[in-house]
Every structure is written in structure tokens, then in C-alpha cells.
Amino acid sequence: MDFESVYNEYFRDVYRCLRALGADEPLAEELTQETFFKVLKALDRFDGSKDIRAWLFTIARNAFYSYYRGRKRLAEAEPPERPSPAPAPEEALADREQAAMIHRCLHEMAEPYKEVFTLRVLGELSFEQIGSLFGKSAGWARVVYYRARREIREYLEGSEHE
């Protein structure tokens, strides 16, 4: 069984199989070519004990699924574009001007908000560790931290409008 005769006899069948799977015309053509490229490399290993069409359709189906798995990974790797929200206070520390404003806000902030925020952002402690320092729960530390973040964000937004 030579490659040319297999290609000539089964090309349309493989193409129709890919179209039936849902590939549009250009994709079906591309995947059919890919299928026959794989067949060319593996034809000497085909023992003829099974129907050659079933073997070809299996290769085509696998090529089709591989193509869509690759596209799915690509789509997951590229996050959709959306407007960026205001940066979190910890991210704003990188900007010197905003860092000075955040430090001013922290200086004016009441305890325990100031200390919890500082321990979380600068000390990089977990909420469990912060809670245990204060003799409270991790949930308490989380609530205090998010309230401090909100206060800093409001302070920054108020400064922008002045």
C-alpha cells in the first residue's frame, strides 16, 4: 500500500469527516493535510488488520481535537481586555508619589487598621498570623485589612479630585 494511492483514494473522505466534526473549509483542508502528513510518517507501521478509513478518521479526529485544545489554551492564556480598575493600594506602593500619599493616609489611620494593613502588605504576613498576633481570628484580620484598603482607596480617589 503506497502513500499516493491512499492519499488519492481517501483524501475526500478525511476532509468530509473533519467537516462533519465542525471544521470550516480552510481548517478542514489544513487538518486533512496534517492528517496525511502523519499518515506519511506512520504508513509503514499500519499493519492492515483494521479498516484503513477507520485509522485515517482516528488520526483526523485527533488532529481536530488537538487543534481546539491548543486554541483553548491560547484563549485562556490571553485574558480578555477590559478596563483596568484602580490599582490596589499595595500595587500603588511602587509609584513614589502615590506611596507618599499612602504613607500619609496610614499615618492618619486609626488602629488596628494601620497595623493590620502594614503587617499584611509590608510584613507579608498571612491573615492567620495577623489574627493570632491580635488574639483574634483570621476572619477578623481579613475584615480589618479590607476596610483599611477601602479607606486608602477612598483617600487616593479624594486626592485625585482635588
Q: Looking at residue 100, which CATH number applies to its domain?
A: 1.10.10.10
Are 62 and 20 in contact by the 8 Å Cβ rule? The answer is: no
What number is the average pLDDT over the span 7-26? 89
Mean pLDDT lowest for which of 12-26, 67-81, 108-122? 67-81
Q: Is the pLDDT of residue 74 over 80?
A: no
Place of cell 487616593: 156
Q: What's the pLDDT score for residue 94?
A: 53
What number is the average pLDDT over the span 42-63? 85
Round the average pLDDT of the chain to a whole number and report it: 81
User: What distance in Å separates the CA atoms of residue 151 and residue 82, rounded to the nearest whole number?
Assistant: 25
Asked if residue 84 belongs to a domain, the reply is: no
Same domain, 71 and 117: no
User: What distance in Å separates the CA atoms of residue 122 and residue 19, rounded to the nearest whole number?
Assistant: 57
Q: Is the pLDDT of residue 42 over 70?
A: yes
Q: What's the pLDDT score for residue 143?
A: 92
Range of the domain at 10: 3-77
Same domain, 50 and 112: no
DSSP per-residue letters across 113-127: HHHHHHHHHTS---H
User: What distance in Å separates the CA atoms of residue 50 and residue 40, rounded to the nearest whole number?
Assistant: 17
Kindly provide the residue ranges of all beta strands, DSSP E only, lying in the chain, ordered along the sequence.
none
User: Structurally, how many domains does the chain consist of?
Assistant: 2
More confident position, 78 or 144: 144
What is the torsional sign of CA 129, 149, 152, 97?
Answer: positive
Are 64 and 21 in contact by the 8 Å Cβ rule? The answer is: yes
What number is the average pLDDT over the span 17-30? 88
**pLDDT tens-digit profile of 88-121?**
655 555 567 777 777 788 788 888 888 888 788 7
Same domain, 136 and 103: yes
User: What distance in Å separates the CA atoms of residue 149 and residue 90, rounded to the nearest whole number?
Assistant: 9
Place of cell 500619599: 101
Q: Is the pLDDT of residue 43 over 80?
A: yes
Considering the entire predicted model, what is its pTM?
0.46
